[in-house]
Amino acid sequence: MKQIETKRLILRPITEDDAQDFFELDANPNVHIYLGNNPVKTIDQSKAAIANILEQYKTNGIGRLAIIDKATNTFLGWSGLKFEQNLRKAFDYYDLGYRLKEQHWGKGYATEAAIASLDYGFKDLKLKEICAAADIGNIASNVILKKVGLKPSGQFTYEGDVCNWYIIQNPYY
């Protein structure tokens, strides 16, 4: 797993040592408003989430990366690409995603991480296309996906919530 660097951020592989930061991120109900409203209650849930990501690194050679603020060495959240096999019932795809601790919202970090993730996916991994999904009410996420170049490509329903579906093709193909 490669480390990615941007102007303000390092995107590095997630490790078991990130459990406390994952717990702080995912225990916040505001973070989970558009993610099914089911924040975690115990650190064991966060450890299990990390174990799942480490398994994806091994099986798929890809997975979400921790976002670290270069200036302070602080864990801000995660972003990156995931080989998504569960969200759409009919097909698998490479998903762009991000999740930040609430105190770090509104500073352009998710946009910066998303641009770097697309660049990595298209130039290094040579993926043909990258997709993303966002709840129709999740304004920030829908703004970001359009801003970084993904094209709105319809809607679908996931566990009762209507989501916008986005696709971007590899421009270097």
Ligand X SMILES: CC(C)(COP(=O)(O)OP(=O)(O)OC[C@H]1O[C@@H](n2cnc3c(N)ncnc32)[C@H](O)[C@@H]1OP(=O)(O)O)[C@@H](O)C(=O)NCCC(=O)NCCS
The binding site for ligand X (CB under 6 A) comprises 31, 34-35, 98-100, 105-111, 134, 138-141, 143-144, 147
Residue 173 C-beta-side C-alpha neighbours within 13 Å: 12
- Of 31 and 50, the one with the shorter C-beta distance to ligand X is 31
Rounded Cα distance, 37 and 142, in Å: 18
| Shortest Å distance, C-beta 98 to ligand X | 4
Residue 20 or 103: which CB sits closer to ligand X?
103
Which string of DSSP letters, residue by residue, matches 65-126?
A: EEEEETTTTEEEEEEEEEEESSSSSS--EEEEEEEE-GGGTTSSHHHHHHHHHHHIIIIIS-
Q: CB 59 → ligand X: shortest distance, Å?
A: 23
State the nearest-atom distance from the C-beta of 33 to ligand X, in Å: 7
Q: CB 173 → ligand X: shortest distance, Å?
A: 26
Rounded Cα distance between 75 and 169, Å, is 30
The smaller minimum CB distance to ligand X, of residues 108 and 152, is found at: 108
Closest CB to ligand X among residues 140, 167: 140
Distance in angstroms (rounded) separating the CA atoms of residues 119 and 36: 29
The secondary structure of residue 37, as a DSSP letter, is S
Query: Which residue number, 58 or 160, has a Cβ lying nearer to ligand X?
Result: 160
CB-CB contact of 30 with 134 (8 Å): no
Residue count of the chain:
173
